Each structure stands twice: as structure tokens, then as C-alpha cells.
Amino acid sequence: MRSKLHLSAALLGGLLCVATSAGAQQAPNPLDAIPEKMPFDIPYGAPISLDRAEAAIAAAVAEAKRHDWKFNVAVVDTGGNLVAFQRMDGAQLGSIQVSQHKAHAAAIFRRETKVFEGGIQSGFNYLITLDGVIASRGGIPLVDGGKIIGAIGCSGGTGSQDEVACKVGAATIK
């Protein structure tokens, strides 16, 4: 009797699987779309100078101070190498590396780190398999004359706070 129940359950389960897969249509995978042009196809330019990196950091820090936020701010060159860094008094120690990681990812992937955050929230979990990705806003490429010269990364507050300060720092380049 017990083997008949197991057999019946297996047959019913198999029939349900066949019926479900035959009757249900899968939604198209958005990753199968083929764009006409390369996304984020911004060419790399000459690396940012120390003076410009420090000016971007000063602007981001001034914005943070205006709100009484305590940040770590990093600027990297086109290859993601650290050019300048500042840790504000009282900024959390764990955010030192995070600010540098955000700047590095924004430079080498040529996009704001907010894109990765949005992608993962939308279900594109493959993004976490890419080396160097950080899915937290607050990393912004620095673009001059249509070319990436580096990136700025802020960390220490919420992602939206980090992003606000970074945008002010990035605005010094434009």
C-alpha cells in the first residue's frame, strides 16, 4: 500500500510539472536583449591630476560638513588607482576601504555604482559574480571633455548621503 501511495504521489507530481511547464509561458529574459550600442561606452582620458582630485574631495567634504555628515572620500585615476583620499574626523573606519572600492568600481566599469545597486534590486543577481563590483551608490565617474579621467567614492553615511556628496565633488570636474 505504501509503495502505491509513493507511486501515485510521484505520478501526480510529474503530471503537475508537465502541465505547469506546458501551460505557463516564461517571461522574456531582459538579459537576452541586444542593444544597438555599447552601454556606458565612455572612453578613458588622461588620468586626473592630484590638484583636481583634491578639489573634488574638498567639494565633497564641504557638502558633508554642511549636513554634519562624516565621510571617507577617495578619488582614483582611470585605472582605479588611488590618487587622493581624505577621512573626515569621526568617519567610521569600515568606510575607508568602501569609499575606495566605490571609486575603483566607478572608474573601471565606467558607470555610477548606483547602477549595480539598481541591477541587483531588479533581480540581476549575476552582478555579484563580477570581480570589483560594489552594489552601493556613492561611486561616480569623473568625466572631462567626454572622457573618464577617474572616479570619486564616498562612504560613511547612507547610500543616498554618500551619493549627494559625491555628485558635488564630481561637479568640480564638469
Same domain, 8 and 73: no
Residue range of the domain that includes 6: 2-28
* Res. 109: pLDDT tops 50: yes
Residue predicted with more confidence, 87 or 1: 87
The residue whose grid cell reads 502505491 is 4
Q: Does 129 map to a domain? A: yes
CATH number at residue 72: 3.30.450.150
156-172 tens-digit pLDDT: 999 999 999 999 999 99
Q: Does 80 map to a domain? A: yes
What amino acid occupies position 34? I
- The answer to whether the pTM exceeds 0.85 is no
* Res. 72: pLDDT tops 80: yes
Q: Span 88-104, mean pLDDT?
A: 97
Q: Cβ(29)–Cβ(122) under 8 Å?
A: no
11-63 tens-digit pLDDT: 444 444 444 455 567 888 777 888 788 888 899 999 999 999 999 999 999 99
Q: Does 45 map to a domain? A: no
